Chain A
Amino acid sequence: MRQRSAVFVALAGGLLVCAPLRAHHSFAAEFDGNKPVVLKGMVTKVEWRNPHIWVYLDVKDADGAITPWQCEGGAPNNLTRQGWSRETLKDGQEITVEGWRAKNGTNTCNASAWKLPSGESVFTKPAA
């Protein structure tokens, strides 16, 4: 079992590198695969609607200045079938988002990983 998990992790890790293959909705056109971004912030709003979920977060820099960001996630129907819901992320919750920036330079990202302070990942695999 442990071996299978290890294989799974390796494959999943590899697939992140190939993220545009998974992304249907115009990742390649809108987001820049050469501009990875890691955002640590506080969730201000979750839109659990088609065609893709959007999570809004306030990101605080070293000086305490706050910059609002918006990050696009997966299809809500797929996420629901994997056991996730609108309640998975609560407003005010701290989260780290890894993804790629929009080509148009706005504070918009396409997320490849969502991590809670506990280290738990959400949305990127079936819910436990």
Chain B
Amino acid sequence: MEAPERGKRIYEAGGVKFCRVLALALVIARAGALAAQAFPSPPPPEPPDGTPVPHAADGRADLSGVWNKGLVLDTAGPVEPLPFTPAGLAAFNDVWNHIDPTSECIFPGVPRVNTSPYPMQIVQLQDKVIFLYEYMHNFRVIYTDGRTHPADTEPSLLGDSVGRWDGDTLVIETVNLTDRTWLDDHGNRHSDALKVTERWRRISANQLSYQETLEDPKFYTKPWTVGWVIPLAPKDWVVMEYACTDNNKDMADGHLQPGPLDGSLRDGSAIGRPAPPRLQPGSAQ
């Protein structure tokens, strides 16, 4: 396989599959060795490894810890083709006319904050669970004290989240999201009608099960759910500084171009027909 050809050849169906399998194999082969994890689509289900789940003082399973969350490029991979409404399909194809918001340091939003690169730390308290994300220094304070969504607030990138415990599973419901964020590097989209339900459960000392259910009647005719397991980070890992604008030459020097970040992987594979041609630099956005 020669590198120069890969732009055209690798992304043919077989090539994509090969790369996905290869990337996954590599991730598995190097489990724990590499800081960065990247998954073309959600990693396969994983059984608990049998190590005991730690418990907090109140007896609940404790989600606290630094978790080695990895980048998932196409979060909807396992449930494609997605059940688009006409507006949803139009938005999906319109990605070619826009720069990925995260490339311009806009927060990834919910749920993309959970599938962006770099680790996160969870701090579980009796009445709230705090998520500290390295990527873009996002944080979320999820109250589990029975409160409900406030009325009449302005939609935001991270939306409004409330939590509750379903046994040892933390269930977070998020609404009031703007439509300015994307769902992932693949350029999957959502409208401002999106409701996200996350289910977080520690299945062993080393494994955190994550599941997201997306309901967005403007863009999709029915909800879908994907999920996977996130490994505990090595003991000496802490959440580090990540300032998106610190030295973002790609943005500052105007190198950014429209289209999904995972590029050619997108070509027609999800919707069964070719994506529109990419616009020339400077003619879009």
Contacts and interface: CB of A to CB of B under 8 A. Distances in A.
Interface of A: 7-8, 11-12, 14-22, 24-30, 32-36, 47, 49-52, 54, 70, 72, 74-75, 77-82, 102-104, 108, 126
Majority DSSP secondary structure for residues of A touching B: mixed
Interface string B21-61: 01101100110011110101000000000000000000000
Given A35-B4, A50-B242, 4 more contacts: A20-B263, A26-B100, A34-B8, A78-B34
| Pairs of residues from A and B, 6 with the lowest C-beta to C-beta distance, nearest first | A28-B263, A81-B35, A33-B7, A49-B247, A18-B19, A29-B257
Nearest to B8: A34
Interface in B50-104: 71, 73, 99-100, 103
A93 B84 CA distance: 54
Taking residues whose C-beta sits less than 8 angstroms from the other chain, chain B's interface range is 35 or more
Interface string B229-266: 00000000100111110111110000111111111110
Contact of A34 (B4, B118, B240): B4
Nearest to A14: B22
A81 B236 CA distance: 9
Majority DSSP secondary structure for residues of B touching A: loop
18 contacts: A11-B29, A17-B19, A18-B18, A19-B6, A22-B36, A25-B103, A29-B100, A29-B258, A30-B257, A34-B7, A49-B247, A51-B242, A54-B247, A70-B249, A74-B36, A75-B118, A78-B117, A78-B118
Nearest to A50: B246
B250 to A, nearest CB: 6
A81 B264 contact: no
B250 A8 contact: no
A50 B25 contact: no
Nearest to A49: B247
Nearest to A30: B255
Contacts of B249: 54, 70, 72
Contacts of A20: 262-265
A38 to B, nearest CB: 11
B71 to A, nearest CB: 6
B255 A104 contact: yes
Given A24-B71, A27-B263, A72 B250 contact: yes
A94 B259 CA distance: 36
A29 B259 contact: yes
A52 B117 CA distance: 13
Contact of B1 (A7, A11, A14, A81): A14
